[in-house]
Each structure stands twice: as C-alpha cells, then as structure tokens.
Chain A
C-alpha cells in the first residue's frame, strides 16, 4: 500500500516536473526562443540549425526552437496562438498582406530597434518602408522574391522563331506558337489561390490600373482590370487543362517538367530544374513579366517579413535573434539554400562577392541580378503607389479571394470581364467599408 502511495506521489511529482520544465530551464538561465518559419526544406533546416547554433554560442542565455508552418495554415495557427496566448517569439516569411492585417489589429511589437541595429540605410528603400506605419516599423523585410518574372525555354522559343516577349500581345502570340503536341505555350495560375491573387494584382498594375486608389476609393472596376482579364482569358487556351486549379506548385511543376514553354515564377526553377530535370538547365532563362502596351512594367513581391507578435514571451531575445539573422554570414548561408529564389533585402548583401559564391548562383548570375532589380522596384497591395497610404485592409482584400474569384468568373463561369470586375469591386468596397 505504501509503495502505491509513493508511486502516485512520484507520478504526480514527475508530471508537475515535466510541466514546470520550461521554468526550470529559464531558472537555469537558458530561455527557449520559439521561431516560426515556412521554410523547412532539408537544406533550409540544416542552414537554420547552423545559424541558430552560432546564435546560441554567442548568446548562451538562449536556445532556439524551430516550428514550421505552411502558407496555407498560417491563419489557423496564428489565430489559435493569439487565442491561447501561446505565441512564438519571432515569426518569419509571412507576406506583407498578413502583416498589414496583424498591424490593423494592433498585434505586433515595435520593430524599430531591429531595423536600426541592422542599418536603416542598408535596406532597399521599398523593402524597408513597406513595414513603416505612422513613422514606426512593425516588421522588417528579411528577404524577398518576385513572381513577376517570365521563365521561358530558350530552345523552344528558338525553334518556334519567337523572341522573348516584352508585351502582352507578344506573349499571346508566343503562347499560340509554342503550344504544340504535349507542350503548352504558357502556364498560369487560374485557380482560386494565393498565386492567382498575387498575379492579378500585378496584371492590373501592368495594365495601368489599381485595386485601391490613393484617395482610398476602389479602383478595381476600371478599363485596366477589364484589359487584364481579357488578356488572361485569351491566354487560357494555351495553358495546361488543369490550370483553373493551379497554384504555386502546379505552375512550377509544369515548367520544371518541360510541359510548359513559359511560366511566371520566382527564382525557384533554378534549383528545382538543376535537381529534377537537369537536361533543360541550359535552356531556361528569365525576363521581367511582359506588360500591357498601354500600361507599364510592374513587379509584385511578398516582402518576406520578420516580426514579433504582441504577447511573445521573450521580446528582448527575439530582437537579438532577429538582428542575428541579418548578419552577413547567416544571411548569405540561408540565401544559398535555394539559389536565386530568395533574394536579399539589404544593399550590402546584393553587392557582396560572397552572394554569388555558389555554383548555381554563379551560373545564373545575370538572371538573379535581373530579379534583384525587379524586387528593388516591386510593390505590394499594401502600398500600391508612392502616393498610396498604407492599406491596412490589404490582407482582408487578399484573403477574401476577390481577385482570384474575379479571374475564375471570367475563365470558368464565362462572365464578361466588365461584369466580373464590377462584382469584385463591390466586394472590395464592402471590405474597405467594414
């Protein structure tokens, strides 16, 4: 009987001990910093571990725990975290729209200290100011990428006697000529997906339009939007048959497997083609995405963010860790995990020789430099023009899928472009009013 009593007590003591473990760790002077990232490919995990090992060595008070999320489950995870007051200390790679929604709900810790420690002037101005609201930083662009590129097959374009297109007319003509047998001229995301919404923002900008005007009124119902929708409808027959469900993965696959002659994407095809279809590696190249003849070149970026959620347990430690991620060695090591896909937000890194000290970065240096120039000029729905105020409702507009649904209305439901644009504009107006 007494044995049983001891055993129960022992069990309770062990349970309490296990629950109190984090406190014990803190009491011994080692605090765990929880770091969220969506970048968890094996090479990236190895780089994170290396970077955090160096951080822990330099800051023995801390250990870093990596927690992965995916772009699709960021909202359920964040909302659960805020509801349960169980938040990570530092979150990375969340897009600018999401940061805007969090800022709109006052759920971010000030980030000025980190930006100033890294060096305000070292950031590309657009990438720095995207997270400056009312003179205060709420996040920093850790790095960037742009899908406003057109990847193309030099060999297939050469065989068809087509030059890389600069305008939509030329792209449509090229897609028509390149669609042969089991090759599709152009892969595009027509699904009700985040990629389609991202591309829609860019297409409307390239056509000379806006989603929200600088005065805060809805600009979506415009001839530019109609032109963009009509162009995309014209391009649809030259896309793979499943394109109405396409998002990031499908567009990338269609290009990497050689089934699409052209496709928009970030620099990710470089590494994926090298790994999975190296026989076409010498035949791929990239140009800025073509634009409407009556419009202008435009580029859209996610501005991969780094921020501290309000309610994080270790704000001071999170700031230290955030600053460490911008250190040159750490920064470049991570960029090298996906050569050409993730691009620097710091001028000093973009011009450093070490950045190209990697075989694929070296091989595709002209393409990567071109994409870096694009990202330096890129915009986002949160700030569509220099004159636009910071749009705290950008996340709500983006999450509503109003833009990709508008595209699907035209392509899937065969609704006239003008009618689809008007319907989407009403949705955006409702969001802005709410």
Chain B
C-alpha cells in the first residue's frame, strides 16, 4: 500500500503522462528524426541510411546555393513582414474609423487570406504574364512602358513581385489582429490627449502604437515564422527562378529531398532553418521580457 504522498505523486504523473507522451510524439520525435536524418546519407527512394556525421552540414555551408537561398529567405521574410505590418496597421486604422461600408470592407478584406494559394498564384501569374498579362497590357496602354516587363523572369523583378504578392496574400492577418486590439483601446485616452492638445500623429505615436505593441510583437513573431518557412507561394510563382534568385531555404529542402533524392541533405537544411527560428524566438522572448520588466 503506497503512502498518501507517494500515491498523489503517482496520480499526478499518471495525469501528466498523456500530455508528455503527446508532446514527445508530436514535437520531439519529428525534431529528433530530422536531426537523425541530417547526420546520415539517406536515399529518398530507398530510405537506406549511412552515418556521415556532419558531412551534410559541411557540404551545405560550402555550397553557394545555400548562402544565396539563406539571403533570399531573409530578404523575403524581412520585406514581406515589414510591408504586411505597414499595410496591415494602415488598413486596420482605416477600418477602425468611421467609414461608409465598413462591415463589407472588413469582410472583403479577408478575401486574399482565404483564397487558396494555388488559386491566388494562378491569377497573379496570369496578370504578370509576359505575353498576355493584364498588368503589362495596362501599363503599355497608358504609355508607361514600351515593351512587356518580365515581372517573374528577371532579377530583381521576380523577388519584388513575389514579395508584393506575398504582402497582398498575408496582410489581412495583421489587419484582423490589430483591428481587434484597436477596438479595445479606451476612448478616454484619446479624449484626454485631445484636451491636452495632441494632434493625430501624436495620438497615434503616444497612444495607439504603445497600445498595439503587445499584439504587434506576437504578429511579428508569427508572421516571421510563417514567412520564413513559406514554400507554396514562392515555389508556384517562380519555382525559385530565374536562376536561383528567388530560391528560399524551404525550396532548397524540397529540391534536395525530392529532386536530388538526397533526404539527408534536405534534413540538414531543415535543421539549420529550425536553428535560425529558435534563435529568432529566443531574441523575441528576450525583448518581450525586457519590455515587461521595464514596464
């Protein structure tokens, strides 16, 4: 017969066990498996493995394509997240004001976010088409350009175009998050500021932005993680081309694993990406905690 204290401990552990087990299965196993694969030469076809230590990582860091893909990933992530924030906050402020048809606008705004990526990409690729795209046609009709612009087949046009389409697709998420927070800022704060003679810009800078800091911090974290590992939009828009000018790390993972059939090398890229994301997360936590302590 167990003592009551030991019995409570056993019960506690038994109650925790399913959570720990699920956590281990859903989080630790895939991470450990990726790490295991990255240290092996693995044929994607046969799944035969051979221990090669850090050779995949050494080959990766020596490969110019990895460096270019990493830089492309940073350019894409920083630019897309920044534009999404600017556009998202701007539109949220507009929708928070008195606007005719505000409810309809709020509904329509979600449209790009709800549209499946494959469909959105098809539409945009058609719009940007070099021979019969509507954008080139419109620009040529008004005399802004004399020949079609290769939007997706010349560098840096391709990266700029992908960033713009990515911004269009994902900025509604920022709007939703920011708008929800905007609606909960007490009106009394603005009234007091107006009495003290604060203009619109001062109100935004000294009231709205500090009130949004928390939600923006979470939005930046989430959007950065999602954009850092974005695959389908970029792959479907350009396939990583022209050359490898829009090839990001997730596309490199796909190429290594499913085109070059080198699963181990693909896992090494994925593990490296995971490391970068952990680093980013650590910085985010540190900044957030410091802000909380200062507050």
Once A75-B258, A75-B261, A101-B45 are accepted as A-B contacts, the answer to whether A259 and B239 lie under 8 Å apart by CB is no
Q: Are A242 and B152 in contact (CB under 8 A)?
A: yes
* Given A75-B261, A79-B44, A191-B239: A241 and B130 interface contact (C-beta under 8 Å): yes
The answer to whether B130 and A405 have CB atoms under 8 Å apart is no
Are A241 and B46 in contact, with the CB atoms below 8 A?
A: no
Question: Given the complex of chains A and B, what is the CA–CA distance between A106 and B52 in angstroms?
Answer: 23
Which residues does chain A contribute within 8 Å of B243, judged by CB atoms?
Answer: 192, 405, 408-409, 412-413
Interface residues of A in 70-96 (CB under 8 A from B): 75-76, 78-79, 82-83
Whole-angstrom distance between the Cβ of A243 and the nearest chain B Cβ: 7
B:108-158 near A, CB below 8 Å: 129-132, 147-155, 158
Is A133 engaged at the interface, CB distance under 8 Å to the other chain?
no
Q: Chain A residues near B153 (CB, 8 Å)?
A: 191, 241-246
B131 touches A253 (CB 8 A): yes
Q: Nearest chain-B residue to A401 (Cβ)?
A: B259
Q: Is there a chain B Cβ closer than 8 Å to A396's Cβ?
A: yes
Q: Is B240 an interface residue (CB 8 A)?
A: yes
Complex contact A245–B152 (CB within 8 A) = yes
A242 touches B259 (CB 8 A): no
- Chain A residues closer than 8 Å to B130, beta-carbon distance: 240-243
CA of A198 to CA of B46 in the docked complex: distance in angstroms? 26
A244 & B45 in contact (Cβ 8 Å cutoff): no
Q: In the complex, what distance in Å separates the CA atom of A409 from the CA atom of B155?
A: 13
Min Cβ gap B252→A in Å is 12
Does A257 reach chain B (CB closer than 8 Å)? yes
Query: Are B242's CB and A244's CB within 8 A?
Result: yes
Verify B45–A192 contact, CB threshold 8 A: no
Name the B residues within 8 Å of A76 (CB-CB): 258
Check A245–B241 contact: CB distance below 8 A.
yes
Complex Cα distance, B132 from A253, in Å, reads 10
Per-residue A-contact encoding for B144-186, CB less than 8 Å = 1, 0 else:
0001111111110010000000000000000000000000000
B14 within 8 A of A: no
- Chain A interface, DSSP helix/strand/loop, else mixed: helix
CB-defined interface of A390-407 with B at 8 Å, one 1/0 digit per residue? Answer: 000000100111000100
Cβ-defined contact, A105 with B43, below 8 A:
yes
B44's nearest neighbour on chain A, judged by CB, is A79
Known A-B contacts A245-B241, A396-B260; the reply to A79 vs B45 at CB < 8 A is yes
Q: Are B45 and A241 in contact (CB under 8 A)?
A: no
A429 to chain B, nearest CB (A): 15
Name, among A192, A399, A401, A413, the residue most crowded by chain B CB atoms within 10 Å (CB to CB). Answer: A192
Q: Residues of A contacting B260 with CB < 8 Å? A: 396, 399-400
Asked whether B248 is an interface residue with its Cβ less than 8 Å from the other chain, the reply is: no
Return B255 CB to nearest CB of chain A, in Å.
8
Whether, in the assembled complex, B238 has its beta carbon less than 8 Å from a beta carbon of chain A, the answer is: yes
Indicate if the CB atoms of B261 and A101 lie closer than 8 Å. yes
Q: Which residues of B contact A193 (CB under 8 A)?
A: 239
Q: Are B242 and A105 in contact (CB under 8 A)?
A: no
The answer to whether A412 and B155 have CB atoms under 8 Å apart is: yes
Collect the chain A residues with CB atoms within 8 Å of residue B158's CB: 245
Q: Is B47 part of the binding interface, using a Cβ–Cβ cutoff of 8 Å? A: yes
Q: CB-CB < 8 A to B150: which residues of A?
A: 241-242, 244
Answer whether residue A107 sits at the interface, using C-beta atoms and an 8 A cutoff.
Answer: yes
Q: How many Å lie between the Cα of A409 and that of B64 in the bound state?
A: 14
A281 CB-CB contact with B under 8 Å: no
Determine whether the beta carbon of B259 is less than 8 Å from that of A241. Answer: no
**17 new A-B contacts at CB < 8 Å, known A242-B130, A400-B260:** A75-B259, A83-B47, A107-B45, A193-B239, A241-B150, A242-B129, A242-B151, A244-B153, A245-B158, A245-B241, A245-B242, A257-B132, A259-B131, A259-B132, A405-B243, A408-B242, A409-B243
A-B contact pairs, 17 of them (CB 8 A): A79-B258, A101-B45, A105-B46, A191-B242, A192-B240, A242-B150, A242-B153, A243-B130, A243-B153, A244-B241, A245-B238, A245-B242, A259-B131, A400-B259, A405-B244, A409-B243, A412-B154
* Shortest beta-carbon contacts, A-B, top 9: A242-B130, A245-B153, A244-B242, A241-B150, A244-B153, A242-B153, A412-B243, A241-B130, A75-B258
